[in-house]
Amino acid sequence: MGNVIGVLALQGDFREHKKALQALGVEAVEVRRPEHLKGLKGLIVPGGESTTIGKLAREYGLEEAVRKRVEEGSLALFGTCAGAIWLSKEVLGYPDQPRLGVLDVAVERNAFGRQVESFEEDIPVRGLESPFHAVFIRAPLFARLGEEVEVLAEYAGRPVFVQEGRVLAASFHPELTPDLRLHRRFVELAQEI
Ligand code: GLN
């Protein structure tokens, strides 16, 4: 697959996303400054700690730069776990948490209970022929969805993978399994730009 995709590399498991992209034959670049966005059509925001990612992104001018590119329609985004939280319009219980706010959802952090820190489950995903092995680690939940937001996968009747335009967000970690189908879907989405 052609194309160059960026991975926000401020904190979290960005190396795993890079490896997944490279396994698809896609060039992956680490994004730490606004100038690194130049020429990119897609950006992956990894899992990690959403407050830290949000604070650093604001400090380095990336929040503003990424928002501008998404709003002008020249950048596709894929947020996983903490990355999905950063994309969201609203973070329940944390009104001041720095975030991008381009995905019309309200997220609940650590929504599956702290006692169940992590779990794995095979879940059906819209458009995939067989289930996807989803790894959830202190995962968020999409608690409210705007009208334009499509649900691509659910776990226990709750949305865990959603799409709005060229923005994808997953509660789980597709970069932690060898299955490349969701990364491929994102690369294709970015190529449409
Ligand atoms: N619970 C973390 C947060 O709210 C996200 C966890 C993860 O990315 N694995 O930032």
Which pLDDT value is given to residue 115?
54
Which pLDDT value is given to residue 160?
97
Asked whether 167 lines ligand 1 (CB < 6 A), one says no
Distance 2 CA to ligand 1 centre (A): 31
Which pLDDT value is given to residue 117?
79
Whether 173 sits among the annotated catalytic residues: the reply is yes
Question: Predicted confidence band at 112 (pLDDT cuts at 50, 70, 90)?
Answer: confident
Q: Using CB atoms within 10 A of its CB, is residue 107 exposed (0-12), middle (13-18) or buried (19+)?
A: buried
Find out whether 116 and 79 touch, Cβ atoms under 8 Å: no
Cβ neighbours of residue 107 under 8 Å, at least 6 residues apart?
84, 85, 88, 90, 91, 92, 140, 141, 142, 143
Q: Which has more pLDDT, 169 or 3?
A: 169
Distance 173 CA to ligand 1 centre (A): 10
Taking the CA of residue 49 as reference, the ligand 1 atom at the shortest distance is 10
Q: Average of pLDDT values for 108-130?
A: 89
pLDDT tens digits for 6-20? 999 999 999 999 999
Distance 12 CA to ligand 1 centre (A): 9
- Residue 97: DSSP 8-state: S
Asked whether 85 lines ligand 1 (CB < 6 A), one says yes
Q: Which domains, from first to last, does the chain contain?
A: 4-191 (3.40.50.880)
Does residue 2 carry a pLDDT above 60? Answer: no
Which H or E run contains 70? Answer: helix 62-71
- H runs (alpha helix) in 76-177: 82-87
Which pLDDT value is given to residue 116?
66
Asked whether 137 lines ligand 1 (CB < 6 A), one says yes
pLDDT tens digits for 54-103? 999 999 999 999 999 999 999 999 999 999 999 999 999 999 999 999 99
Taking the CA of residue 53 as reference, the ligand 1 atom at the shortest distance is 10
Find out whether 125 and 133 touch, Cβ atoms under 8 Å: no
Taking each continuous run of H as one helix and of E as one strand, the counts in the chain are: 5, 12
Which pLDDT value is given to residue 114?
63
Q: Average of pLDDT values for 39-63?
A: 98
Find out whether 153 and 181 touch, Cβ atoms under 8 Å: no
Task: Out of 16, 63, 81, 108, pick the active-site residue.
Answer: 81
- H runs (alpha helix) in 76-141: 82-87
Q: Round to the nearest angstrom and report the end-to-end CA distance of the chain.
A: 15
